[in-house]
Structure 1
Amino acid sequence: MGKSVNLKIVNGDFEQGFQVILRIGEDGSSTATEINGWLPPAPQLPWLCSNWYSSYHSGGETEASRALTAPETQVTNFSILDSAQDLENAINNWLNASDLQFRSFRDKLLKHLQSNEPIRFIIQTDNIELWQLPWHLWDVFQELKVEVSISPSEYEIDFTPGAKTSNQVRILVILGNNSGIDIEKDLASLQQELANAYLRILRNPQKSALSSELWEQEWDILFFAGHSSTQDDLQGRFGINQQESLTIEELKFALTDAIEHGLKLAIFNSCNGLGLARELASLQIPATMVMREKVPNEVAQKFLLYFLKAFANKGKSLSGAVWEARTRLQELEKEYPCASWLPMVCQNPAQIPPTWEELQKQTQHKSPSWPRLPLLQVFLVSLIVTGLVMGMRSLGFWQFWELKVFDQMIRLLPAEKPDERLLIVEVTKKDIEQLQDSYPLSDGMMLQLLKKLGEHQPQIIGLDIYRDLPQGQGRDDLVQYLQQHPHVISPCAHSGGTYPGIHPPPGLSSQQVGFVDTVKDP
């Protein structure tokens, strides 16, 4: 189990900065540490990001891309690289800002990122400009090999997929509109790298056929290859055949049912998938992979191959596999600038995407149907069993085993470090040798010690030196000091048998007395 790090962007903008909450915990655990902080203003970032998108969208590669619409203008690779470098520098200047308030928050974040555990890092926000940012460019993420995922601010916590009844990883493969592109290599990669999976292949399907597969069968992974786009209203659209394209909204109920029956991952190996990712996230799917911009045919093919090798063959987590595939795409950036910027992952923070090994093991057969007992019979049996257990407990029958279990649980607790708020002042053997005739400590010396400790304003002082009898001079002053300072606790010892015990100093309330021995439980 790895670590989950969620950065929730609560509100704000690039002009004023963003209020954020950092949530850190074990992946899958309901408990986590929360740290409030903020991201400093960066008013130039939206313009630089838009400039890069414009440059890239109008880019002049000759390779066919998987967009539904072709670019109207073209620019050189040089201008794309210029805008990309400007954006990367701006992101690093923003997240490495020297602002003292932000630096303290960033240092806490870095402390948790520098971990040997696998990290699932998710940025939660509804701000579309923040979704569009290539967060992976922060040098810290690159150095620590952390893959960044995006999530909406709101998500379901108690969502539980239904039981899986198949004994194979089931993948619904949609090969849609392939005008001008080669998507057969995508299928070849799936067949080669996922030899043990069941692939249901739909070529240029009609909407009714696709909907039927989602409604009537159980799927672990949904894969699409073809043309897609994100409209101006941020709605995603993907071409399922040469004439027809769909939105997620048009398949909303079928996809929701598929997710409720175990669909865990959607992969859209096509262009401009931001809108598709946002809409799928609203359906509470555990994870979605898309390309943020138009993707050249070769880049899409290589990314899928690299991802499948890391995910299925090497057994890496979803985030780890995407990070490896993204990094390997840098080999293509001489011909396809910013190829490694294109993959984008959207995750539900409440659900851990399974590894390939876990997908293969998550086979749950339907439980046998047991006959139902009458309600009255169930009630009577429960009442009898409860009465027997409570009766035996009242007679002490369970005491031995309860103490054994309790003792074993205490032994299993990790060793605790000393509390830094506690200070122990000792009178050591060396002190006694130095004091010589002045030991035991006189009442006056004890008073001097208590006043010295009192200068540090401790909440409580506990003595482990008896003062039932006067020692030297200063008795009255010591007793008066103890009576006036209720946070000073004096010791006593219980009496027992012929042993008379040891009394506390006179005149103290019962709230100022503590015992330094225990009475044996008969």
Structure 2
Amino acid sequence: MISIDIDPDTELLPCDRIPPTATSLHLKVHRVEQTCLFDLTWGQGQHLAAALPWRSELLQHYQHWQQAYLQVYRHLEDPAPAPPVSPTSLRGRVQSSGGLTSAVDWSARLVEAEAQLLYDFHRWLRSPELFEIRAQIGHQAQGQPVDLYLTCHPLEVARLPWESWEIGSEFAAVHPLRLVRSPARIRAPANAPPPRRRPRLLVILGDETGLNFAGDRAAIGALNRLAEVVFVGWQPGCHSGELKRQIANTIAADQGWDGLLFAGHSNETALTGGELAIAPGVTLTVRELAPSLAIAQQRGLRFALFNSCSGLNLAESLIDLGLSQVAIFREPVHNQVAHVFLRRFLQRLAAHDDVHTALIQASQALKLEHALTYPSAHLVPSLFRHPDAPLYRIAPKGWRQQLRAWLPTRYEVAVIGVMVTLSLLPPLQRGLLDQRLWSQAIYRDRTGQLPAASPELLLVTIDNDSLIRADISNPRPMDRRYLARVVDKTAQLQPAVISIDYLLDRPLVSDDNILAQTLETAAQDDIWFILATYLDQTGQWLTPLPALGNPDWSWQGDIKLFGQGRLVPLLLSRYSPDWPLPLAYLMALADVLSSGHQSVDLSQGHQAVPAHLTSPRMQPASVTTSAYRLGQTWLHPIVDYSLPPQRLYSQIPAWQLLESSPPQLRQDYPQAVVMIMPGGYGEAGVSELNEDNFPLPAAMAYWRQRQAPANNSTVLLGGEVHGYLFHHFRHRHLVVPLPDLWLVLMAALLSKVIDQTSLHRRRQCIFLVSGSLLYAIISLQVYVAGLVLLPIALPLATLWFYRLPFLMRR
């Protein structure tokens, strides 16, 4: 034996790793006396049958063609002949057909006989009785590639050149239609062993009498960089029995084989499944090799190529034993033709084509490039295939090939382009976020994962009813006398902190003294005030009047809201006395400090606050800062409207507060923090009317319908946003959303990973459905447990659109 070790960077892709790429149709042709029965099956039990009269002229034309074929190649000169042991270079045992004169032009007769055979054969197949079957085959090839499995009986029918049947051209098929043969009897299933790291091919060199294997060895050199090739064969002085045992033992070797190639003489035999000439005067039948072949098949043998003659019985027997594909010549083949065919076949196999494509390409090369030198040679190669075995090929494994497998197709580029664009559109992102929080609210409600029912904040809303009852016709600016009454009544609740969500930057001389006195009086009862400030369009801070904002008992907080109340204000490093902290954050800070009578120096910004009120999520990440330049808010914490508002704060209209008794109020509203805020009237806002009223998030609408159906408001108040922010800062409840773009790209990558698996369409569909549901549930729970929002819609849409062509393939 000769062993050649070659490039391990390529492995032989096992059959179960090749996804099905073509529709399978099965055509059985059975001759009974003078009638041929055609039976076509496909899909899920679909079936067509037809009966066609047998034309005896076909056998006569075939015999004339065969006679001319044998005579042409018997007299064909070999430019590099073997020692003149035999008068022929045909790889088969052909009996003499009598004396012949040299004056006969057998090449011309062969061309004429081929034309006559194909003409009558194709005319017979175009009979009206077969139209429905032909039309169905052509129709199937309109949608996707078709593999037509042909089973013929008896042997004389199988000898006809069925591969030349051009059904696709008759019906203008859009996709390729390939004819492959399948034996009538297949008892062994197709095996699917695990992939082998290094492909292994066994080459058996048989009797070289009259032949020259130098061309075969040179052709096999095309695989020298892709596989480990082992040669075994007859050597001078080797006993026949010892040679048979050596071949049988090598075939059944423990390491196993991926492919088997035989070069030499072979013939058909009716009872032993074909025979191989392995040495001068020594033959080995398939029946003798059956035990070794069965073991080899279990150890990975998938494909066999017999670069020899008359292999119909050989192929049928080997497929019956469980091999996936067997390539043979149906007629005796000349030594030079065998070299040309093998060289082109192995070149295509080395280029990672499957064996069927390689055989078709090799046959086409004989037809188009060597028709004058080797006439009719393209008609004799055939491929037999196990119906349940995907086509055998050598899969690329180098880094370039691996990279190519991960590159997107044109369709995938279009899908990812659309999804990336959608993931970068702010209006669409706001809509998807709104629906995501709505689904999160439903999930929280159904699973009972809600915060404790103990609101820590009371919102006193000055709504339209309060304005009407107080005879206030123009609340811009808010009446300071009325505001003083509300502050005075609120102070009677004995809270620790009172926040006023109204700007007190402009003087109202007649009323300011009353409000100032009220604030001073409340401050003497250890009530801390958080007053509103705002940066206007000119870059000036609108701060409370000095008489209303004494720093001994008040802080000033920024009331600006971001993203229509959907984004949490972050604690930027520039915060200082000249750049106040967010209003809601100061409310949470004052609440924490009031319980322990601590104090902080806000001149140092947020760095001076207690550690349990800070979090890395309260400051923008570098990715977030960079995304701002692109108009994106990647990793910017969001306001969590999936939490029910009734669990975060209580609400009372100002008019009801003023009309209720202090003891009853203290009993009903024991909160330590109170915010006085606009209650939804149209004039609320700093620079524009209705500026303090935002569109109602879908999650808030869900909670109002569930817990406060009497509330018909369709707006989200700015004070309610501050209420959510107070809770988030107080408990460091900051939800960070992962960008849709990131998850879209990950979904595309996952689809390419799925491409590398062996999942068939049905299993892949089950995997996608179950995986999508599981991902949705996991993302909902990760939101609750980890405060991380995983997008659902666009990533799953990307994955499904990526897989759609494969799932729709019939």
TM range (shorter): 0.5 to 0.7
Counterpart of 1:405?
Answer: 773
Distance 1:105 1:51 in 2: 30
Counterpart of 1:79?
Answer: 109
CA 1:125/1:334 → structure 2, altered by over 3 Å: closer, same or farther? same
Distance 2:179 2:272 in 1: 21
Counterpart of 1:102?
Answer: 130
Distance 1:158 1:287 in 2: 13
Give the superposition deviation at 1:260. Answer: 1.4
- TM-score, normalised relative to structure 2: 0.42
Instruction: String of CA shifts for 1:256-313, please: whole Å, max 9, x gaps.
Output: 1101111010011011212211221221210001111111111111111111122221
Distance 2:380 2:770 in 1: 58
Counterpart of 2:306?
Answer: 268
Counterpart of 2:75?
Answer: 61
Distance 2:116 2:384 in 1: 25
CA 1:142/1:49 → structure 2, altered by over 3 Å: closer, same or farther? farther
Query: Contact conserved, 2:91 with 2:334, CA < 8 A, in 1?
Result: no
Unaligned runs of 5+ in 1: 25-31, 362-395, 416-522
One-letter amino acid of the structure 1 residue matched with residue 138 of structure 2 = L
Counterpart of 2:64?
Answer: 51
CA 1:65/1:120 → structure 2, altered by over 3 Å: closer, same or farther? farther
2:191 pairs with 142, 160, 182, which one? Answer: 160
2:205 counterpart of 1:175? yes
CA 1:146/1:204 → structure 2, altered by over 3 Å: closer, same or farther? farther
1:92 pairs with 122, 131, 134, which one? Answer: 122
Instruction: String of CA shifts for 1:459-480, please: whole Å, max 9, x gaps.
Output: xxxxxxxxxxxxxxxxxxxxxx
Distance 1:302 1:323 in 2: 13
Query: Contact conserved, 1:16 with 1:40, CA < 8 A, in 2?
Result: yes
Distance 1:288 1:102 in 2: 29
Instruction: String of CA shifts for 1:350-399, please: whole Å, max 9, x gaps.
Output: 111222117999xxxxxxxxxxxxxxxxxxxxxxxxxxxxxxxxxx869x
Give the superposition deviation at 1:70. Answer: 4.1
Counterpart of 2:244?
Answer: 207
Distance 2:168 2:63 in 1: 22
SS state at 2:25 partner: strand
Counterpart of 1:225?
Answer: 263
CA 1:103/1:276 → structure 2, altered by over 3 Å: closer, same or farther? same
Distance 2:325 2:202 in 1: 15
One-letter amino acid of the structure 1 residue matched with residue 773 of structure 2 = V
One-letter amino acid of the structure 2 residue matched with residue 123 of structure 1 = L
One-letter amino acid of the structure 2 residue matched with residue 34 of structure 1 = Q
Distance 1:271 1:10 in 2: 24
2:286 counterpart of 1:248? yes
CA 1:221/1:397 → structure 2, altered by over 3 Å: closer, same or farther? farther
Query: Contact conserved, 1:14 with 1:41, CA < 8 A, in 2?
Result: no
Query: Contact conserved, 1:266 with 1:288, CA < 8 A, in 2?
Result: yes
Query: Contact conserved, 1:6 with 1:349, CA < 8 A, in 2?
Result: no
Aligned runs of 1:433-512 on 2, under 5 Å? none
2:366 counterpart of 1:329? yes
2:153 counterpart of 1:129? no
Which structure has the larger Rg?
A: 2
2:336 counterpart of 1:312? no
2:180 counterpart of 1:149? yes
Counterpart of 2:253?
Answer: 216
CA 1:348/1:200 → structure 2, altered by over 3 Å: closer, same or farther? same
Query: Contact conserved, 2:337 with 2:377, CA < 8 A, in 1?
Result: yes
Query: Contact conserved, 2:286 with 2:317, CA < 8 A, in 1?
Result: yes
CA 1:320/1:402 → structure 2, altered by over 3 Å: closer, same or farther? closer
Counterpart of 1:37?
Answer: 49
Instruction: String of CA shifts for 1:479-512, please: whole Å, max 9, x gaps.
Output: xxxxxxxxxxxxxxxxxxxxxxxxxxxxxxxxxx
SS state at 1:223 partner: strand
Query: Contact conserved, 2:205 with 2:231, CA < 8 A, in 1?
Result: yes
- TM-score, normalised relative to structure 1: 0.63
Distance 1:280 1:360 in 2: 32
Instruction: String of CA shifts for 1:66-97, please: whole Å, max 9, x gaps.
Output: 43424413672222222221210112112222
One-letter amino acid of the structure 2 residue matched with residue 65 of structure 1 = S
Aligned runs of 1:287-298 on 2, under 5 Å? 287-298=325-336
Counterpart of 1:367?
Answer: none
One-letter amino acid of the structure 2 residue matched with residue 210 of structure 1 = I
SS state at 1:344 partner: strand
Give the superposition deviation at 1:155. Answer: 2.7
CA 1:146/1:309 → structure 2, altered by over 3 Å: closer, same or farther? farther
SS state at 1:316 partner: coil
SS state at 2:327 partner: strand
CA 1:10/1:248 → structure 2, altered by over 3 Å: closer, same or farther? same
Distance 1:402 1:172 in 2: 44
CA 1:405/1:231 → structure 2, altered by over 3 Å: closer, same or farther? closer
Query: Contact conserved, 2:29 with 2:153, CA < 8 A, in 1?
Result: no
Unaligned runs of 5+ in 2: 1-19, 78-87, 236-242, 400-445, 449-768, 777-791, 805-810
Distance 2:772 2:286 in 1: 58
SS state at 2:140 partner: helix
CA 1:185/1:141 → structure 2, altered by over 3 Å: closer, same or farther? farther
2:271 counterpart of 1:258? no
Query: Contact conserved, 2:324 with 2:392, CA < 8 A, in 1?
Result: no
Distance 1:198 1:78 in 2: 44
CA 1:247/1:136 → structure 2, altered by over 3 Å: closer, same or farther? same
Q: Which stretch of structure 1 is more off in the superposition, 67-76 or 324-333?
A: 67-76
2:377 pairs with 339, 342, 348, which one? Answer: 339
Q: Which stretch of structure 1 is more off in the superposition, 188-197 or 344-353?
A: 188-197
2:114 counterpart of 1:114? no
Counterpart of 1:496?
Answer: none
Query: Contact conserved, 1:173 with 1:200, CA < 8 A, in 2?
Result: yes
CA 1:81/1:253 → structure 2, altered by over 3 Å: closer, same or farther? same
